[in-house]
Amino acid sequence: MISSFAFFGALETGFIFALVALGIFISFRILDFPDLTVDGSFPLGAAVAASTIVAGLHPLLATLLACIAGSIAGVITALLNVKLKILHLLASILTMIALYSINLRIMSGPNQALLGVETLLTPLDNLVIAGTEIPYYIAYPIAFGVLALVVLGLLVAFLKTELGLAMRATGSNPRMAKANGVNTSAMIILGMAISNALVALAGALFAQSQGSADVTMGVGVIVIGLASVIGGEALLSTRTILLWALACVVGSILYRIVIAFALNGEVLGLQAQDLNLITAVLVTLAIVAPTLKSNMKSKLNGVRR
């Protein structure tokens, strides 16, 4: 078993990365745009928030600024693809690589500590509700959970608007979308902006909860996000947009809990450095699981007959 401390920690990180999962849901699933920009826009959000908070900006404004920076990164990837006709995957890799240098510039170095400064989370450190003190390790996950659900609600509501529907059509059948008057280029630009704004928001919050931003903190974010999306899809229904988005959030939480279990104790002999290996195995399992399941079913049915 894992300790309740580790469990709440998993929840906290899970809810922050649920924002990444929702961002990836927009790019990979709604727009059908495999976007690796996130490995750069996650630390971008962290770098912008940390640097501006240290410089004295209000944490809320700093976080907002991080979102805007993320959306610009998304727009650049989209423009490289839509206007310059660079393959989407390559376009996103170019932005990601460029962001590495930009993040170093923003922080004037490889990292930026947030020690001793007020962040968005400071009010949660000594939270007292109705005379009971709520420890930070419980307050954080609750706050992030509420935020993730609010973002989920807004996102689902958007996808049901005329613009949202046009965006879904753009990813699903661009030629048909154009024939119905949808400006598919504009939809890709808008979708990528929203997607990377969410990822940068996650980066900004992660930096504030960890107490620092680091230029390398983006490595593998895309795989973690995909693990959440694919895992959630494998376990839950994707029948409606709401259920599908919910699956991404739940996937993110489950991923963290599975990781916490795998790394906890001596049972499997796994340690922190095995994290990426475990992630890769999880993603592979999640991708293969649905086919394996249906294969086994048909085999069993065959035997019965």
**Residues near other proteins, by CB under 8 A:** 158, 160-166, 168-169, 172-173, 175-184
CB of 7 to other proteins, least distance (A): 36
CB of 171 to other proteins, least distance (A): 8
Rounded to 5°, the CA angle 78-83-184 comes to 65
Three-state DSSP class for 303? helix
CB of 256 to other proteins, least distance (A): 29
CB of 214 to other proteins, least distance (A): 37
Q: Which is nearer to other proteins, 112 or 184 (CB)?
A: 184
Three-state DSSP class for 110? coil
Query: Side chain identity at 189, as an amino acid letter?
Result: I
Which of 92, 112, 95 lies closest to 46, judged by CA?
Answer: 112
What are the residues whose beta carbons fall under 8 Å from the beta carbon of 24, sequence distance 6 or more? Answer: 35, 38, 195, 199, 222, 225, 226, 228, 229, 248
CA distances from 165 to 134, 157, 234 (A): 42, 11, 24
Q: Which is nearer to other proteins, 166 or 215 (CB)?
A: 166
Place of tokens 């935020």: 147
Q: Which is nearer to other proteins, 143 or 166 (CB)?
A: 166
CB of 290 to other proteins, least distance (A): 17
Residue pair 45/201 in contact by the 8 Å Cβ criterion:
yes
Q: Which is nearer to other proteins, 79 or 142 (CB)?
A: 79
CB of 38 to other proteins, least distance (A): 23
Q: Which is nearer to other proteins, 206 or 244 (CB)?
A: 244
Please state the φ and ψ torsions of residue 133, each to the nearest 5 degrees. Answer: -85, 130
CB of 273 to other proteins, least distance (A): 40
CB of 219 to other proteins, least distance (A): 32
Q: Which is nearer to other proteins, 119 or 170 (CB)?
A: 170
In angstroms, the CA 122 to CA 175 distance is: 49
In angstroms, the CA 70 to CA 32 distance is: 19
Q: Which is nearer to other proteins, 122 or 183 (CB)?
A: 183
Q: Which is nearer to other proteins, 178 or 210 (CB)?
A: 178
Place of tokens 């259920």: 243
56 CB-contact burial (10 Å; exposed 0-12 / middle 13-18 / buried 19+): exposed
In angstroms, the CA 81 to CA 40 distance is: 17
> Which two structure tokens, joined as six digits, stand for 213?
């931003």
